[in-house]
Structure 1
């Protein structure tokens, strides 16, 4: 195999990862994480100006009320400027939260008050300390009339976060259609935020004979340029070939070419008693064949006896240079080499199941201007947000 592929041996030292849910949407996301498989592996915090909202946070998440002098514990409504003031008022509390972290996830809903106004303040403190910072945020439905506020929040956040995972609620509605009510729709958005964080943490924390460790994640996530993340799962005949193609082929991902990636992080999970070296080689050759010859590829294999015949693969690609605008989409619904797609019955994964694996827009601190991108539906431009321009602090 190409010498740029790095086989990472098991590392017993655990990275110190902290997850901070900011505002109502961020609090809902950390609530979902507290109930998930990563409970106990991460330090989780809920930060809000609304004391009542903090009462709903699960045990296992530390509750941090900010801006009592500004909001009196009653929240700031949609006034993100007051939320920023609240965060700066309690900057010492924020510094205490992030102290000692190797990596910080910031989860928030954009378009309202606290999440929009306070998130970038937290990210800026992380930047000052050299902490790898990944923001995971939702964009409001177009009918909510909060798009301009959301763009301000994302623009501010992009100045300080290494990468931003953006989950547009309109896209979630496309995936789930008319099958669920409004409350369930917001629950799905919160779950997607949670699963995006969990997906990256699983890469770092899940043990295996060949591990991708935190240093590899940091190397990949710190690459200047755009980034994307995808997941796939396949069973049965030719599963390795189909899984590898499914994770790199996304019909709606226009304007981004994996061949331009400067960093690839690949994590394969399988029952290693039922997973051959031939399959490992096949999957990595397919993925390596789509990337630039000089790209660094970090590759890990994790053991999960419960998967049986199923292979799962997660791919994070960074340092992408695009000739057009990147799509910000779910990575579900891709097609494998057999044309059936990873959502086929053999995989047991539906398009909805994979809606929880959004693509990433990276805003690496050392880069220049980036575009947030447009959602594409059958080649039709649904939305063209303003350009996000990075500024050095």
Structure 2
């Protein structure tokens, strides 16, 4: 029976041999510990280093795998395994371990310089592997007839996600999630036959907007509106971040399902254009329609909306140069009179880097993939959520 004293002696001898770069002796000492059943994480790590020094990369890989079975997030072990796999020609497997190391240490400033240097080298190796793989896949796909300009956009997106050129975004509503709805950043215009008629009214809407902007009294910080909503909606978090509340203001034509006077009466052509749109309808909540004003330099920080049962439409009215909007991976420039429909439960942000004021007409519509019954049930559910507090308060008042 080999006891701890003998195991400790082998360990000390192995480390001395390792420091002296006598890798054969070091390997023999550590393998003796393994055979005696005394190997811990440190022994497996030392054995992998001895095997590498001895030129046996396969044995190095086997030893470090034993360590990772015991400590999957060991940074050094993951790095050793990635390097060993790369040396043995297993490029795809090596990429997985390099990626895990980057996940474990996202910021190299958080680690000591010697380790950071090694991790930076590993990141360069990983980047090179990704470039090699991407080039290989592009050649293979070209041979199969793939053309990024004409082939399936969805397939092109999948390729960008695989290569890391794009990030995967999902629907993350802050209040209510309806399952099995597709996660689409910007929806295909062809799905909305009312868009062209709305866009055709752009000049009329802008004509009504000009005196409202000059007056200014109808605009108030949008961030305050969001704060009111988040206070009583289950599952919500902070309101939408903006550089300053006065930088992002709203003038409501319809709010919480009610027409806002006198502004609506000042905009008859705008209201007529909205009458042909399938607006979301929920008692006490929707529809809503507003002029959204963003001042020069303003930034609406990344955020998500409340419900994925609705989509949001923007009709750009005043668009100076330097204004952009991002939903998920897609960044677009607003173009006067060119509307789009997007899912606001996907992370999105907006910025006005121009010198003039940006104004967009914004409203919500039902998600087109909801059935008529589902729309009615969602509306009833949201109304019930709003009524719950009222009913509860009324009950408490009755017992006072």
**Bigger helix share:** 2
Q: TM-score, normalised by structure 1?
A: 0.22
Larger RCO (alpha carbons 8 Å, 6+ apart)? 1
Of structures 1 and 2, the larger Rg is shown by 2
**Bigger strand share:** 1
